[in-house]
């Protein structure tokens, strides 16, 4: 019986290590976001805490865990595309989950956050 628990424990551990993309947010690469920013005016939000240097064109700084306290900074139209980023990605996913619960469904998170943005050769200010 102990052998079965060992296999079950190993399975659970390995399954937990695999990141599953949430279905409430779309992931976007640094190159894709840069391309979009050059062609379109989008609503871009930095959600990282503590506040960091922002990607040029950022519309708002809203801490990922204070989305509901900052509704006045968000677009009134719930179908507006909202592009989120943090330093590495997880805070963007957390903010997207909160926004989704508030009725926003056109959400994007920068894969790898500002680390990936800078690694791709793009600046912050």
Does residue 48 lie in a domain region?
yes
Does residue 80 lie in a domain region?
yes
Q: Are 93 and 19 in contact (CB under 8 A)?
A: no
Does residue 112 lie in a domain region?
yes
The DSSP line for 31-74 is HHHHHHHHH---EEEE--SS--PPBTT--EE--TT-GGGGGGGS
Does residue 72 lie in a domain region?
yes
Q: How far apart are CA 9 and CA 80, in angstroms?
A: 43
Q: How far apart are CA 23 and CA 97, in angstroms?
A: 10
Q: Which domain holds residue 57?
A: 20-119
Q: What is the pLDDT of residue 15?
A: 42
Does residue 6 lie in a domain region?
no
Contacts for 84 with CB less than 8 Å, ≥ 6 apart: 25, 45, 47, 92, 95, 96, 99, 107, 108, 109, 110
Does residue 15 lie in a domain region?
no
Does residue 1 lie in a domain region?
no
What is the tally of structural domains in the chain?
A: 1
Q: Are 95 and 70 in contact (CB under 8 A)?
A: no
Q: What is the pLDDT of residue 22?
A: 72
Q: Is the pLDDT of residue 5 over 90?
A: no
Q: What CATH number should be reported for the domain holding residue 72? A: 3.40.250.10
Q: Are 56 and 115 in contact (CB under 8 A)?
A: no
Q: What is the pLDDT of residue 20?
A: 57
Does residue 10 lie in a domain region?
no
What's the chain's average pLDDT? Answer: 88
pLDDT tens sequence across 73-84: 999 999 999 999
Reported pTM: 0.83
């Amino acid at each position: 019986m102990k052998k079965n628990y060992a296999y079950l424990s190993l399975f659970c551990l390995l399954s937990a290590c695999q990141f599953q993309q949430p279905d409430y947010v779309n992931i976007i690469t640094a190159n894709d976001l840069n391309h979009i920013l050059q062609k379109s005016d989008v609503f871009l939000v930095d959600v990282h805490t503590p506040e960091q240097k922002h990607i040029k064109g950022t519309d708002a700084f809203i801490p990922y865990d204070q989305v509901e306290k900052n509704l006045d900074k968000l677009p009134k139209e719930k179908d507006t595309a909202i592009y989120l980023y943090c330093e590495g990605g997880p805070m963007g996913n957390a903010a997207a989950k909160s926004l989704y619960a508030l009725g926003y469904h056109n959400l994007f998170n920068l894969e790898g956050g500002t680390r990936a943005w800078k690694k791709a050769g793009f600046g912050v200010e």
